[in-house]
Amino acid sequence: MMINIVRRIAIMALTAAALHSPLSMADTMEQSAFAAMGGKDGLQKIASLGMDNVLNDDRIKDKFTGANIPRLKLLLGTQFCALLDGGCVYGGKDMEAAHKGMNLNDADFNALAEDFRNAMIDLGVPNRHQNVLLAKLAPMEKPITAH
C-alpha cells in the first residue's frame, strides 16, 4: 500500500501547482511549506524525529549500523531546508555517492519516506505541506536505489 506513495504524492503536488498556479508561484509553495514546518529549526526536528523513526523501523534499521546518526540528522535538516528554499546550503555528498554500494531498493526508500512522513504527522505539519517536502524527495529514489 505504501508502494509508490511518494511518486503519487509528487505527481499530485506538481499537478496542483500546474493547475492552480503560474510558474512564479512554485517558490511560494516551497516557502509556505518551509514556514509551516517551523523554518530551519522545525526541519531539524523533522529530520531528527524521522531518523528516530527509521532507527525503530525493523524494515530498514539494520542499514544504519555504524552510521554517525547525529551527523546524519544535521545533514538531513540542512538538506530539507535547502530543498524548501530556506536559505541553507547542503554540504554533504550527492545522493548517489552517499548511498553507493548499500544495495537499497524501492521498498527501503518507501519505508524511509513513510518514517519521515510520520514524523511530520506527529509534529502537526498539515498534509499539503508534507507533500511538498515528499515531492522533493521523490526524484532521489533512482540515484539512491540504482546501485
**Interface residue list for ligand HEM (CB under 6 A):** 60, 63-64, 67-68, 71-72, 75-76, 79, 92-93, 98-99, 104, 108-109, 112, 137, 140, 144
Q: How far is the CB of 89 from ligand HEM (least distance, A)?
A: 13
Beta strands in 64-113 (DSSP E): none
Residue 24 to residue 62: CA distance in whole angstroms:
43
Write the single-letter amino acid at 52.
D
Q: How far is the CB of 49 from ligand HEM (least distance, A)?
A: 15
- Exposed/middle/buried for 71, CB within 10 Å: 0-12, 13-18, 19+? exposed
Q: How far is the CB of 132 from ligand HEM (least distance, A)?
A: 14
Q: Which residue is nearest to ligand HEM (CB)?
A: 92
Residue 43 to residue 84: CA distance in whole angstroms:
10
Q: Which is nearer to ligand HEM, 12 or 64 (CB)?
A: 64
Residue 144 to residue 39: CA distance in whole angstroms:
26
Q: Which is nearer to ligand HEM, 17 or 104 (CB)?
A: 104
Q: How far is the CB of 39 from ligand HEM (least distance, A)?
A: 19
